[in-house]
């Protein structure tokens, strides 16, 4: 088991952090009309990040989930407004598990953006083909995706059809859409066990989201510690007051625990598939509420400036709450963890 990044993984983290420092423009999405940061997405594609875990024979980089989590940590830390979680994680993982060779290369190259609908849609065989009907109410990055990977009771399908309606959500840095299908033609992705693919996709998505959340916690900690060193009240830096220093210490403890859970889950995704379900459920059950508590603490410790629109503290707060509920409520995450524990021999 490897819980510490090696030299190459640290170099990857440094390269992605530099990329985001130079090209991340989340305010173009928050304050402008852009649905996502297309400039940053294009540069990520040029570096091969959009197909990081896709096999090399399909145009990807053939890296592991540990490396992808390194990238996701940095994206979460920088609050990058790109459809990486939807396209390079959910859609790419589903298509890889299903053995698709038609759509996956375009996603790996960043030429298309993919999104995944997991519920609310049915498939019917008609005239020698398949059509989709129904409504998927909350599809991550469905507002910008060009191709949809859809899970139905009849299996997995891929389509570019369907009517989308962009939703107004709490987190302005990450879009969602309501997708409606009415006899939409689709291509079936054959697999002997579609249910196993769904579980695999959900587990990997939980790990990926935890990586984003760990990056967000680290950024909140760094920001508030830096602020506590320079903000002076009553002639002393606020970091010298017990209430502030204890809150920072608690944030540091949370960051370390969340990071450790993530490292193990990412390692399990690459090297121990049997351990992944429990590791993924544990990581998501802890990091979701932990990130929200950290963001809320960071907002309060910044005082009045933290509540201004110009300061990014409220963006981390909104991302943290949105992410905490993205794949289920905390109670549902704990129930999922309990279910996984019951399966342990």
Please check whether residue 329 is in contact with residue 288, taking contact to mean a CB–CB distance below 8 angstroms.
no
DSSP-derived letter for residue 177 is E
Residue 231 backbone dihedrals phi, psi, to 5 degrees: -80, 120
- Integer Cα distance of 81 and 7 in angstroms: 28
Give residue 296's pLDDT: 96
C-alpha distances in Å from residue 225, one per residue of 27, 35, 239, 305: 23, 32, 7, 15
Residue 179 CB partners (closer than 8 Å, separation 6+): 117, 121, 135, 136, 139, 142, 148, 162, 163, 164
Give residue 4's pLDDT: 87
DSSP-derived letter for residue 183 is E
| CA-closest candidate to residue 184, choices 224, 141, 129, 234 | 129
Report how far Cα 201 is from the mean position of its chain's Cα atoms. Answer: 12
- Integer Cα distance of 5 and 7 in angstroms: 7
| CA-closest candidate to residue 169, choices 332, 320, 318 | 318
pTM across the whole model: 0.95
Hey, what's the torsion of the CAs at 180, 116, 191, 267, to 10 degrees?
Answer: -170
DSSP string, 89-127: IIIHHHHHHHT--SSHHHHHTTSS-EEEE-SSEEEEEET
Token pair 């304050």: residue: 31
Give residue 214's pLDDT: 98
Give residue 33's pLDDT: 85
Blockwise average pLDDT, block size 10, the chain, 345 residues = 88 97 92 91 96 92 96 97 97 95 95 95 93 96 96 96 93 95 95 94 97 98 96 94 95 96 96 94 96 96 90 95 94 92 82
DSSP string, 131-143: EEEEEEEEEETTT
Please check whether residue 218 is in contact with residue 73, taking contact to mean a CB–CB distance below 8 angstroms.
yes
Q: What is the CA radius of gyration of the chain?
A: 20
């Amino acid at each position: 088991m490897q819980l510490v990044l090696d030299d190459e993984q640290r170099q990857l983290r440094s390269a992605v952090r530099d990329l985001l420092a130079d090209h991340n423009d989340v305010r173009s999405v928050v304050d402008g009309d852009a649905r996502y940061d297309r400039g940053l997405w294009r540069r990520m594609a040029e570096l091969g990040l959009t197909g990081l875990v896709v096999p090399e024979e399909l145009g990807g980089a053939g890296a592991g989930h540990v490396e992808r989590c390194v990238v996701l940590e940095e994206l979460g830390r920088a609050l990058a407004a790109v459809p990486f979680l939807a396209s390079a994680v959910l859609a790419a993982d589903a298509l890889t598990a299903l053995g698709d060779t038609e759509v996956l290369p375009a996603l790996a190259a960043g030429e298309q953006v993919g999104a995944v609908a997991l519920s609310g849609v049915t498939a019917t065989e008609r005239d020698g083909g398949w059509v989709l009907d129904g409504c998927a109410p909350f599809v991550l990055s469905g507002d910008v995706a060009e191709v949809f990977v859809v899970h139905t009771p009849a299996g997995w399908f891929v389509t570019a059809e369907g009517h989308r309606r962009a939703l107004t959500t709490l987190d302005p840095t990450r879009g969602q859409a309501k997708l409606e299908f009415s006899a939409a033609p689709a291509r079936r992705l054959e697999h002997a066990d579609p249910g196993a693919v769904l579980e695999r996709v959900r587990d990997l998505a939980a790990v990926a989201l935890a990586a984003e959340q760990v990056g967000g916690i680290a950024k909140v900690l760094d920001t508030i510690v830096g602020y506590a060193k320079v903000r002076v009240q009553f002639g002393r830096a606020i970091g010298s007051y017990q209430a502030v220093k204890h809150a920072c210490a608690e944030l540091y403890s949370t960051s370390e625990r969340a990071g450790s859970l993530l490292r193990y889950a990412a390692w399990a995704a690459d090297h121990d598939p049997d351990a992944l379900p429990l590791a993924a459920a544990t990581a998501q059950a802890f990091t979701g509420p932990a990130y929200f508590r950290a963001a809320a603490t960071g907002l309060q410790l910044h005082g009045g400036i933290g509540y201004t629109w110009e300061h990014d503290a409220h963006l981390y707060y909104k991302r943290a709450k949105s992410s905490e509920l993205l794949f289920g409520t905390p109670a549902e995450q704990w129930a999922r963890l309990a279910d996984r524990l019951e399966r342990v021999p």
